[in-house]
Amino acid sequence: MTFNLKPAYKPKQEDKSKYLPSETNVFEKQHKYCLGRNELGIVDNLLKNKENWDEFCKERADDCKNTIRATRDLRKEGNCSLDYSHRYILDFIILEPEIAYNDLPDNIKKVVCGETEKDEGELEFVNAYNKLMHCLIIRKIGQFPSQAESQLLGTSKYRKILGDKYKDYTLGIQLNASGVGAGALVYLRRIFEGLLEESHQRCVELENWDEKIYKDSHVEEKIKLVEDRNEILIPQELQAIRKKFYGALSKGIHQLSENECKELFPAFRYVIESVLDARMAKIEHDKKRNEMIKVINSIKS
């Protein structure tokens, strides 16, 4: 068997001498090369006169700003990465920085106008001032759903188990999203107290329940009394904070600063939602158990 062997393909060697060295900065003034607009490709005359060059750069910067500002409003639309059914819209606006010349210190005004020499501190300020003149600001002006509404995504599952207290739950979340600290914690405490009272009412109907002991007890002790009767208030995985939870929640409302309350809100919310999740799981478990018992009992012997 014979094979026709062909020489390996060799690509044509490209002459790279026409290109600039890789370390060349094409935007430096000492190079007469540039990318993009054709008129920036030949700057020999401008390089000879610094004032002309500076004026040329300012004009090009203004051209860039005007081109961008032609589309003054921007909108970004998309879907939540956690739940694709949740859609969001973000609106932005492009603005020029408002620099009030009259508000500048007198010494800076003279430097900006070229009346005096610049010392080190003034030079830094003026350079920042000049750079800002060629900047644009992208400002967020709106979103849908709002920040407060976006915090409610996924909370509707608690509507049935909370009943009338669902409004307190959502108000607390929205207040926190709006920057309110202690006020948001008040609603969480009301929800927890309502859950405790529901457990208490079920315990009243049980045998050997001592109502006097319950009424004379502190909240932490009340929690233990109802949990001893198989009521779920603090889930098992959170038993380490059972004695501290209500006291910490009350301390946040009465003693901590607004910022501290805002930082603590997610932790308190997690506990409340853990209680609700545990109760919902128990309700579902009891429902399936009763259905199973009913089905088996319906079978004739």
Q: Which two tokens stand for residue 123?
A: 């030079």
DSSP 76-89: EEEE-SS-TT-EEE
Centroid of chain to Cα 294:
49
Banded model confidence at residue 7, pLDDT cuts 50, 70, 90: very low
The whole-angstrom separation of Cα 257 and Cα 187 is: 17
* 48 pLDDT higher than 60: no
Interval 221-250 mean pLDDT: 87
Query: pLDDT: is 161 or 46 the higher one?
Result: 161
DSSP 238-301: GGGGHHHHHHHHHHHHHTS-HHHHHHHHHHHHHHHHHHHHHHHHHHHHHHHHHHHHHHHHTS--
* 89 pLDDT higher than 80: yes
* 142 pLDDT higher than 80: yes
Percent of the chain with pLDDT over 90: 29
Banded model confidence at residue 266, pLDDT cuts 50, 70, 90: very high
Centroid of chain to Cα 273:
21
The whole-angstrom separation of Cα 33 and Cα 44 is: 10
Question: Is cis: bond before 145, omega within 30 of 0?
Answer: yes
- The owner of tokens 């609106």 is 91
The whole-angstrom separation of Cα 43 and Cα 50 is: 11
pLDDT at 117 (0 to 100): 64
**Other C-beta atoms lying within 10 Å of the C-beta of residue 274:** 15
pLDDT at 263 (0 to 100): 92
DSSP 145-160: S-HHHHTTTT-GGGHH
The whole-angstrom separation of Cα 160 and Cα 137 is: 46
CA dihedral 195, 291, 205, 200 (to 10 degrees): -10
pTM, rounded to two decimals? 0.57
Beta bridge partners of 94: 138
Who contacts 279 (Cβ-Cβ below 8 Å, separation ≥6)?
Answer: 161, 195, 232
Measured at the CA of 140, the angle between CA 139 and CA 141, to 5 degrees, comes to: 110
Interval 13-32 mean pLDDT: 46
Percent of the chain with pLDDT over 70: 67
Mean pLDDT across the chain, nearest whole number? 76
